[in-house]
Amino acid sequence: MLLDKLDEILNKYEEIGRILTDPEIFSDYTKSQKYSKEQSELQEVVEKIREYKKVLTGITEAEEILKVGGDDGLKELAEMELEELREKLPVIEEELKLLLIPRDPRDDKNIILEIRAGTGGEEAGLFAADLFRMYSKYAEERRWKVEVLDINSTGVGGIKEVVASINGTGAYRRLKYESGTHRVQRVPATETQGRVHTSAATVAVLPEAEEVDLRIEEKDLRVDTYCASGPGGQGVNTTYSAVRIVHMPTGLMVQCQDGRSQIKNKEKAMKVLRSRLYDLELENLEKERSAERKSQVGTGDRSERIRTYNYPQNRLTDHRIGLTLYKLAIIMEGDLDEMIDTMTSYFQSEKLNSI
């Protein structure tokens, strides 16, 4: 019951207040900081709970006055107050429920963005490149830093696979719902008869893990170095600057050949590996989230999609929430806020229904 949950939070907040007055705790900096932080995190919801309870009390008192009757002036004031409080109550309830949604501790993290071409041949690679450009432009608008960690390009301007880090406040919070298979319907540049083709690419958004989030033992790693391939000049292609790391217990493999420095390439590869292992660990701990992520990312087949980009109709459709926007051209230029805001509201509502 909601009131019982609210009372639990109030009791916890008051108990922390009593703990902080304990001389033993007050004199211990580490414990004092821990409880102060916990108290601070509860402050906003506690204030809203107190406001909510005040409104409930006001409604009860006004109803009692009307039930007893008596002075007409007092009765009129009670009716006015009751009407005002009843209008205010559902608004406060919604605000309170939003505050009660458990905050995702990963929301403020930077991300590792992975985009891979799926079915559709060269056209899938071109679409993967378009998606990466779309997210890069969105990041630039928000003054986030985008760094390519590894990229495997096609010969016609497409991308087989790209791994990049995006650093900026709220990066994971804004982009975490982008994971999944994205389908495109358009006439490829190579199509001579004007037929619409369907292709796909997969997107994975992983919260960037720091060393404090996950400990990786050196003995569990196999590190290989080799000559980088592709563009980059003689210095890249003739020195052992490319790095491939295999995490032996899980079989996860990452590689980086983007820079000339073997040391920097290893650092970048470790960043990706750490984030993949962190995500894997979270999946194992949260089976529900694991099932959701697997159903979203899928295999890259065009039939498994979370979103469709229809170029002939200038239409974007997100199949998870039933959202359709006829502004695909500007979305592909990085104008993602309307889509992201709508998805965030939808998934927050889903969480609210479970409270």
**Cα→Cα distances 227→271, 273, 340, Å:** 21, 20, 40
In contact, 148 and 156? CB cutoff 8 Å: no
| Cα–Cα distance measured from residue 67 to residue 42, given in angstroms and rounded to the nearest whole number | 37
Domain with CATH 3.30.70.1660 in the chain: 111-212+285-353
State which amino acid sits at residue 235.
G
Q: Which CATH architecture has domain 2-100?
A: Up-down Bundle (1.20)
The neighbour count for residue 236, using CB atoms within 10 Å, is 18
pLDDT of 224 = 84
Question: Can you list the residues of the chain whose pLDDT is less than 70?
Answer: 1, 70, 190, 211-213, 228-239, 258-259, 285-304, 352-355
In contact, 242 and 256? CB cutoff 8 Å: yes
Q: Are β-strands 307-310 and 252-256 bridged in parallel, bridged antiparallel, or unpaired?
A: unpaired
How many angstroms separate the first and last alpha carbons of the chain? 9
Q: Are β-strands 180-186 and 307-310 bridged in parallel, bridged antiparallel, or unpaired?
A: parallel
Domain with CATH 1.20.58 in the chain: 2-100
According to DSSP, residue 218 is labeled G
**Tokens found for residue 114:** 């992975």
Among the listed residues 280, 283, 112, the one whose alpha carbon sits nearest the alpha carbon of residue 203: 112
In contact, 208 and 275? CB cutoff 8 Å: yes
Please provide the CATH number assigned to the domain covering 111-212+285-353: 3.30.70.1660
| Cα–Cα distance measured from residue 88 to residue 137, given in angstroms and rounded to the nearest whole number | 41
Among the listed residues 161, 202, 37, 176, the one whose alpha carbon sits nearest the alpha carbon of residue 110: 176
pLDDT of 233 = 44
Helix (H) or strand (E) holding 287: helix 287-297
In contact, 306 and 319? CB cutoff 8 Å: yes
Residue with the two structure tokens 């432009």: 137
Residue 151 phi/psi, 5-degree rounding, is: -145, 140
pLDDT digits (tens, 9 = 90+) for 235-259: 444 567 788 889 888 888 888 886 6
Q: Is 242 exposed, middle or buried (0-12, 13-18, 19+ CB in 10 A)?
A: buried
Helix (H) or strand (E) holding 308: strand 307-310
Among the listed residues 98, 103, 155, the one whose alpha carbon sits nearest the alpha carbon of residue 125: 155
